[in-house]
Amino acid sequence: MWSRLRNVTYRKVKRHQRHHKTTSAAVTAAMPSECTEPLTSPFGELATNLSDSELRETAYEILVGARLSSGGKSSTYASDSEKNSERAAATPQTLTSRAASKVKKALGLRSRRKKASEKAESERVKKVSTIGETMRVQMRVSEQMDSRVRKALSKVAADQKIESMVLPLEMLQQLKPSDFPNQEEYEACQRRNLKLLEAGLLLHPLVPLDDENTAPQQLREIIDGALEKPLETSKNNETMQALRTVVLSLACRTSNNIGSVSETSTHWADGFPMNLKIYQMLLEACFDVNDETSVIEELDEVLELIKKTWLVLGMNQMLHNLCFLWILFNRYATMDQAEGDLLSAGNNLLIKVGNDAKAMKGDENYCRMLSSTLGAILSWAEKRLLGYHRYFRSDNAESTMGCVVSMAVLSVKIMEGGEGISNEDHIEGNEMDVGQEKVDAYIKSSLRAAFVQIMETVKSSKSSSTGQQNELPFMAKLAEDVSTLAFTEKETFSPILKRWHPLAAGVAVATLHSCYGNELKQYVSSIDELTPDILEVMKGADKLEKDLVQIAVENSEDSEDGGKSIIREMLPYEADSVTSNLVKSWIKTRTDRLKEWVDRNLQQEVWDPRANRERFALSAVEVLRIVDEAFEAFFLLPITTHSALLPDLATGINSCLQHYISMAKFGCGTQSTYVPTMPPLTRCSRRSKLPSVFKKKEKVPKKSQAGTVNGNENDSFGTPQMCCRINTLNYIQNELNVLAKRDITHLSSSGTNQDIADRMEKVFEFSAAACVEGMQQLCEATANKVIFQDLSHFFWDGLYIGEVSSTRIDPFLQELDHYLEVISITVHDKVRTQVITEVMKVSFDGFLMVLLAGGPPRAFTLQDYEIIDEDFNFLTDLFWSNGDGLPAELIDQFSTKVKDILPLFNTDTDSLIEKFKQVTLESCASSSAKSKLPLPPTTGQWSPTEPNTVLRVLCHRNDETAAKFLKKTYHLPKRL
């Protein structure tokens, strides 16, 4: 029979495993292959080594004795098996004719399915025709033992009821060696009864033993002796008489209850946990011996018969409910967990236990047993619920998981001293407060465990599929699987858990959101640079977050706050923000590298116009190439925020370009770098024609300086190099426009947002403006350098020093012509006019400085005017170059100032003095100042009506009248 049972159980386990393999979802881990597990009995352990079989034999003896003493049978022994055929004919009780079990209906147990052949079933009906015979078979008692027990008990049942006798004592005296097949069985039965006496009267008595009572010690000595040597059990045996005396003295004790008359009753098998262990053996008979997960059809009759033992075992309905709850639950948990009926029945019975708990609060033994039983159930249930994704699937969640949750919640409520729970309360879910707290913990724990399981699965699959094309990054694949888990949770588990937690799905997705968020945070913190994989991860994270939020919102439609509390827990991934920050970091890295490249190459740049045909620096080509690549790479990024982030890239690129532009003109100087400082005002003295004058004249170099116009090759600030710098900025300006138009065309053809194309038109406007400004500064610097530094000996240090007729402008013009030729050849066509115009403008301004601020060495007479005027015309003709140079109107524009001032040098001294007085007084605008002329300040804004300009003409007038006027009016010296 036992081998058959094992084979049946094995086949069911294998069938369960095969079914699981075909139905488990990808995100739900498999049920453990080992579904059964031993559970610790809540009844506690006996202090003696009574085996289950010994307890079962004792339970059967108590059952037979209870049935006999109830008056249902004649005291004359007659075996049921001898009367089967007669009773079957008189009162047929077959499985098909038996009325539906009320207990099964109340507990929700279905009728047992047929599992045996029709022949085997008919044999059972024929053989088992009475409830007594059913119990014998169910309790695995042989007919020989049944006959022996009935024979022994029938002798004593006529004189006393079962509850008033000490059964082991009576069985010791009634059973003889002749009743057993051999001496070994007889002695084993005797030892069992002695151990029962020890357990019931000494080890686990209901009423505590009196320390002053010597009976316990006497009983101990008798039992110890009998265990060593078989006991002679005849009535006249002295040891047997002593045993009876001491046993009865211990079993028949007075129980004094307050407010009641003292009663004497027999106590030998109703102490905890001995009575519970024996009662467990009786309740186990409710399960079919051939199918241990099925409750027999005769359940009602069996339970009615078992109840007859309550008086002996000190049981009541509340203790029965608690014991039967454990039996149902333990049978489900320790078998293959395939019979959900047992779990459902246990859940329904637990509701009754909850109602019993209030009535039994004062019973210490009951409360201890209740706490132990509920603790065991709760521990088993929470092991599964704290990781329910491992234990439940879509095919068993509705039928099993709901019962497990209900039992866990009810157990907690009862242990916390909750009021009794009716069926209506259970249906309405009034235990929601306790349930919500517990289910909240179950959801969070299980989802975290499921998330870890998914991570391990994804890692394993990634490691086994390394190198495959179109493979998602780990975090992106994880996001996909977490989303699948979330929808599985919503469809499979959340509807069940919502009975106890109104926001079950919300808690689940919030937990998953947090789990993935923690991983995402670590992932983002480890990123060094932006890659396509990273963008794929952020895209997946964004989609996952939207899925989770959508589930939370849908789940919270009926909640009081609309799910706001759950949503607040879901700290945003801010994938767009993270992506933007990553792109910004990518932009910064690109621009930083560009700036480093600019610095490195500018340090090596020699600005040689011969480097290429266009006569600009090669570094500019490389700079623009890198800029172009940066924009191309940016627009290839798989993001949707190009328009928003384009200003960041533009700012970084423009910064690098402006840095290049700034370095291109760095060190080239400005106007103030080259223009000499104006000397203080002095009077002019009458010059002689002594040889000393000619000595000074000889200081002017006669050899042409044009040979040095190309400068040293290592001189990065020579005129050709300055022209190369100008060409380079001009090239950058033009190429930026080309680059912007090319990008706009590319963006338009790829269907990019028009806003981005519109922004590209302005993306380089700051760099282009910097190029224009830089070229202007370089032109000015080049012009001033040529006039005031390169040609200083011919111009500032030579022109009109001493005799005007001997130091005219011709040498300067010859050298300047060479420089203009070099500039014309070197500078690009588009900026040639700009550079030469600037040279012309500086030369005109410098000519005025020579005349008005040339210092004491320069003195002019009225006769010198014609020479000066002629020299200036030579200067303007150089730039006109017979029509091949600058336009005439441009020359006229910049020569006007000089032409307006030159007539002052042709004005007689007296008229010049009067003119000076007039313009000075007019500019002063104060009548009190007429008595004394103020010294006009030097503004540098030369004009024939500007007082300082007229004063300087007087200072350089080689005339006695002018000298006296200046001495008298301003006390000006003749020399510095």
Side chain identity, residue 694: F
Expressed in angstroms, the distance from the first to the final Cα of the chain is 137
- Whether 616 maps to a domain, the answer reads yes
Assess whether 771 and 623 both reside in one domain.
Answer: yes
**Which residues in the chain land under pLDDT 50?**
1-35, 73-98, 115-119, 122, 125-128, 257-262, 419-431, 688-708, 711, 927-929
Q: Which of 620, 607, 539 is nearest to 573 (CA)?
A: 539
Instruction: Characterize the bridge pairing of strands 287-288 and 252-255.
Output: unpaired
For 292-331, write each residue's pLDDT tens digit. 888 898 999 999 999 999 999 999 999 999 999 999 999 9
Q: Is 932 helix (H, G, I), strand (E, B) or coil?
A: coil
Last residue of some domain: 516, 539, 573?
A: 573
For 803-832, write each residue's pLDDT tens digit. 999 999 999 999 999 999 999 999 999 999
Q: Which of 176, 141, 159, 177 is nearest to 62 (CA)?
A: 141
- Whether 289 maps to a domain, the answer reads yes
CA 119 to chain centre: 66
- Whether 538 maps to a domain, the answer reads yes
CB atoms within 10 A of CB 232: 11
> Using CA of residue 38, residue 44, residue 47, residue 53, what is the dihedral sign?
negative
Assess whether 958 and 969 both reside in one domain.
Answer: yes
- Whether 702 maps to a domain, the answer reads no
Assess whether 726 and 738 both reside in one domain.
Answer: yes
Instruction: Characterize the bridge pairing of strands 287-288 and 263-266.
Output: unpaired
The reply to whether omega before 38 is within 30° of 0 (cis) is no
Instruction: Residue 750: give its domain's CATH number.
Output: 1.10.357.50
Q: Which residues contact 954 (CB under 8 A, 6 or more apart)?
A: 909, 912, 913, 916, 962, 965, 966
Tokens of 794: 């011919």
Last residue of some domain: 300, 315, 330?
A: 315
Angle (CA) 722-708-781 rounded to 5° is: 30
Assess whether 496 and 611 both reside in one domain.
Answer: no
Please answer whether residues 255 and 246 qualify as being in contact, where contact means their C-beta atoms are separated by less than 8 angstroms: no
The reply to whether omega before 273 is within 30° of 0 (cis) is yes
Angle (CA) 934-939-941 rounded to 5° is: 120
Q: How many domains does the chain have?
A: 4
C-alpha span between 925 and 19 (Å, rounded):
113
For 198-221, write each residue's pLDDT tens digit. 999 999 998 888 888 899 999 999
Assess whether 328 and 222 both reside in one domain.
Answer: no
Assess whether 307 and 354 both reside in one domain.
Answer: no
Assess whether 367 and 479 both reside in one domain.
Answer: yes
C-alpha span between 798 and 791 (Å, rounded):
10
Domain with 922, as residue range(s), is 907-975
CA 130 to chain centre: 68
Assess whether 642 and 628 both reside in one domain.
Answer: yes
Q: What are phi and psi of 237, to 5 degrees?
A: -65, 130
Assess whether 533 and 645 both reside in one domain.
Answer: no
- Whether 540 maps to a domain, the answer reads yes
Q: How high is the pLDDT of residue 15?
A: 38
DSSP 8-state class, residue 860: B
Tokens of 736: 């930026």
Please answer whether residues 826 and 718 qualify as being in contact, where contact means their C-beta atoms are separated by less than 8 angstroms: no
- Whether 809 maps to a domain, the answer reads no
Tokens of 546: 């939207």
Helix or strand holding residue 750 (H, E): none
Please answer whether residues 835 and 720 qualify as being in contact, where contact means their C-beta atoms are separated by less than 8 angstroms: no
C-alpha span between 285 and 715 (Å, rounded):
113
Helix or strand holding residue 599 (H, E): helix 575-604
Assess whether 644 and 522 both reside in one domain.
Answer: no
Tokens of 611: 């480097």
- Whether 838 maps to a domain, the answer reads no
Q: Is 957 helix (H, G, I), strand (E, B) or coil?
A: strand
- Whether 830 maps to a domain, the answer reads no
Please answer whether residues 38 and 410 qualify as being in contact, where contact means their C-beta atoms are separated by less than 8 angstroms: no
Assess whether 274 and 328 both reside in one domain.
Answer: no
Side chain identity, residue 614: E
Q: How high is the pLDDT of residue 24?
A: 36
Assess whether 293 and 332 both reside in one domain.
Answer: no
Give one word for 937, left, alpha or beta, with left for phi > 0 and alpha for psi -120 to 50.
beta
